Chains A and B, each alone.
Chain A
Amino acid sequence: MPRKTMIEAIRDGLDVMMDRDKRVVVYGEDVGYFGGVFRCTAGLQAKYGKTRCFDAPINESGIVGTAIGMAAYGLRPCVEIQFADYMYPAYDQLTQEASRLRYRSAGDFTCPLVVRMPTGGGIFGGQTHSQSPEALFTHVSGLKTVVPSNPVDAKGLLIAAIEDPDPVIVLEPKRLYNGPFDGHHDRPVTSWSKHELGEVPDGHYVVPLGKAAIRREGAAVTVLAYGTMVHVALAAAEETGIDAEVIDLRTLVPLDLDTIVASVNKTGRCVVIHEATTTSGYGAELVALVQEHCFYRLEAPIGRVAGWDTPYPHAQEWDYFPGPARVGRALVEAMEA
């Protein structure tokens, strides 16, 4: 099996789908000729031509707004917002238009649209290239939101998103774009090619939306994580020696609640982690769900580790980022309670 970085896997996913389905159209800022600032779309314009993969004006509302029109027409637009931080001008189109076309027209018009955007910190992007806006999407009915943590999932989830009949937001953790992350910022990035999760199957395959993956089995405490934080959770479990079960949610909406509930009912303890700011973050939703469904099995308060409620700082990003030390402390606390 070929070994790929997440970027290569995403490009491969786009390639597979553009080849299979003439309706798939890929565009966004710098996406066409140059192949995107992260090179996810490199080579696609040369292969599929300018009408299937092209550069868009710097106008996020326009990118998503036109994509909605294309999707309503019957194409399968897969657009890129250059950084998740710049989706705010498109937020109205995403949350009030894309999310609702099917519902408000009673199925007369649908919106099979994919919006990809690099998210999260860990590349010294400062406060405008590091945000994790997932809660702004999960709060909106009618959208689906996915966050891959490795190249295999990145390709499989992207293909599932493109094939999905409804609008899907794909948040791509840019810390994982070029290689695996062992949870620590001070160690060199090793290539995905040396990492077992980097083995990406050729051709078409799907990682279904709405299905979590158990990345590490354990009996003492359940850790709920997604994207970059999956790797932090694994590092924290190794370092504390706590028998933690690490669940990679992969899709935030629809959420695989069954897997979560089964795990917490087994372990009786739970720690939730994410990179986005704490207050009203997606972790709050996870805590509420675990409390609703597992209250009588819980042996400790549910722990929550997340980014601070401040903009993402440039120089101190590793103090902002919930690293293995903070997650480890939360695991210890959960065990001691």
Chain B
Amino acid sequence: MADSAPLRFHVPEPEVRPGDTPDFSKVVIPEAGSVERPPVDAEPESIRKLAFSIIRVLNRKGEAVGPWAGALTDAELTDGLRHMMTLRAFDARMQMAQRQGKTSFYMQHLGEEAVSTAFRKALEKGDMNFPTYRQAGLLIADAYPMVDMMNQIFSNDHDPLKGRQLPVMYSSREHGFFTISGNLATQFVQAVGWAMASAISGDTRIAAAWIGDGSTAESDFHSALVFASTYKAPVILNVVNNQWAISTFQGIARGGAGTFAARGLGFGIASLRVDGNDYLAVHAVAKWAAERARSNLGPTLVEYVTYRAGAHSTSDDPSAYRPKTESDAWPLGDPILRLKNHLIVRGIWSEERHKQAEAEVMDGVIAAQKEAERHGTLHSGGKPSVRDIFEGLYEEMPPHLRRQRQQAGV
């Protein structure tokens, strides 16, 4: 032992920092259409390599190719494009509203629009998502009223959540969108419980859990894998790998080896990686996983390989920790542009239609914003009542809260 070298402590570092040239050379991108599509009842063991590859449908020319292509109709595709454009326009307006002091905080989806909007379309009514804060596309793709989303963001007197939640922490049972927690990862295991309950009840509905790459380090992520694999819960376990957790690169949660999808392999969970900027690939994989869950074949772990092109939130400045041009260098491109090009190649879209659609979408968002602002913004106009502080904590208000409400004079 005496001649052992001193131990060294290892801290993973990203390839580049501000001022460096962006470098995604280590991200291995398989060609679109090159990854197999196993039957939904495939044994997890037999498809281990899908946890290390990336399933892609749209190629560089905008064509849909390979075994995962072909599931969506023209109308579904143009709807999908519109949902992504709506989310992007919504983000732009709400980001600006925050800068104007109309709300305290906002989190945008720039670059990740395909993940939630395409996923939503693979679920059925009654299925339940347990989202985190970057899946507003689940609501938009399910036609949840945009005005209500804005009322929530403005915490005005029409806020469905009565001013109790941070902006973007929506809730809608009706739209299969579980109430969001600010505490990362807690929802991941709750989704598994919901799915277990559905199976216990002999229901046909399934659950979907959502988590970011950074948050997979939380114990609740691992708890969820244990319960999902033990009880073969009908749940889709979604990891959105957008490369960054605020300023921390994904290697800090993952270490140097493997992938986030590979986390499922030790649990015997079917695990796949998919191009998160490819609307068709996301939809196809989600559909595959949903069918698997619904056929009592158990959980699937899906890693969406994507890139957070915007800031983490309105409180973040990404130029302090990554090269400014890194998002342009991201090899999987922009999800809206890619679907747009595909629709043009398919002959059902054009540059003019796109411009027109952009204008229409923005008009819709602006109209919704006007309506929401009529009810008030965070610091002006209508507010939820002070009574709402005390109401609805318990189904029936206990005496100590009644006393405190009286003390507050409401």
Contact = CB atoms under 8 A, between A and B. Distances in A.
Interface of A: 25, 51-52, 56-57, 59, 61-62, 65-70, 72-75, 77, 89, 92-93, 96-97, 101-110, 141-142, 144, 165-166, 210, 253-255, 257-258
Contact of A165 (B171, B172, B178, B395): B395
A53 to B, nearest CB: 11
B392 A65 contact: no
A141 B198 CA distance: 29
Most A CB atoms within 10 A — which of B179, B198, B227?
Answer: B179
Contacts of B173: 105, 108-109
Interface stretch (B40-48, B216-224, B256-264): B216-224
Contact of B190 (A51, A57, A69, A75): A69
Most A CB atoms within 10 A — which of B193, B201, B400?
Answer: B193
Contacts of A61: 189, 219-220, 223
Contacts of B223: 59, 61-62, 65
Q: What 10 A-B pairs have minimum CB-CB distances, sorted nearest first?
A: A69-B193, A66-B193, A65-B189, A254-B398, A62-B223, A105-B179, A69-B194, A73-B197, A69-B190, A70-B197
A229 to B, nearest CB: 22
Most B CB atoms within 10 A — which of A51, A69, A257?
Answer: A69
B200 A108 contact: no
Interface string B204-245: 000100000000000110011011001000000000000000
18 contacts: A51-B199, A51-B200, A61-B220, A69-B192, A69-B197, A70-B197, A72-B178, A73-B201, A74-B197, A89-B219, A96-B181, A104-B165, A105-B171, A106-B161, A106-B164, A109-B173, A210-B399, A254-B399
B183 interface: yes
B9 interface: no
B17 interface: no
Interface in B158-191: 160-162, 164-165, 169, 171-173, 178-179, 181, 183, 186, 188-191
Given A62-B224, A102-B394, A254-B400, A75 B200 contact: yes
A109 B178 contact: yes
B193 A57 contact: no
Interface string B391-404: 01111001110000
A56 B189 CA distance: 13
Contacts of B200: 25, 51-52, 70, 75
B336 interface: no
B145 to A, nearest CB: 14
A101 B180 CA distance: 9
A72 B190 CA distance: 9
B118 interface: no
A123 B30 CA distance: 62
Given A25-B200, A69-B196, A109 B171 contact: yes
B195 interface: yes
Nearest to B171: A105
Contact of B392 (A73, A75, A103, A258): A103
Contacts of B171: 104-106, 108-109
A107 B172 CA distance: 10
Contacts of B162: 106
Nearest to B160: A106
A66 B191 CA distance: 7
B128 to A, nearest CB: 8
A61 B186 CA distance: 9
Contacts of B190: 65-66, 68-69, 72, 93, 97
Nearest to B183: A96
A104 B399 contact: no
Contacts of B394: 102, 142, 144, 165-166
A77 B164 CA distance: 27
Given A52-B200, A110-B395, A93 B186 contact: yes
Most A CB atoms within 10 A — which of B128, B186, B188?
Answer: B186
Interface string B7-20: 00000000000000
Contacts of A67: 193
Contacts of B220: 61-62, 65, 92-93
A108 B198 contact: no
Given A52-B200, A66-B227, A255 B400 contact: yes
A104 B230 CA distance: 31
Nearest to B397: A254
Nearest to A93: B186
B167 to A, nearest CB: 13
Nearest to B203: A73
A102 B165 CA distance: 12
Contacts of B128: 72-73
A210 B398 contact: yes
Interface in B105-151: 128, 130
B224 A65 contact: yes
Contact of A103 (B164, B183, B188): B164
Contacts of A255: 400
B129 to A, nearest CB: 12
Nearest to A109: B179
Most B CB atoms within 10 A — which of A59, A89, A92, A104?
Answer: A104
A173 B319 CA distance: 56
Contacts of A101: 179
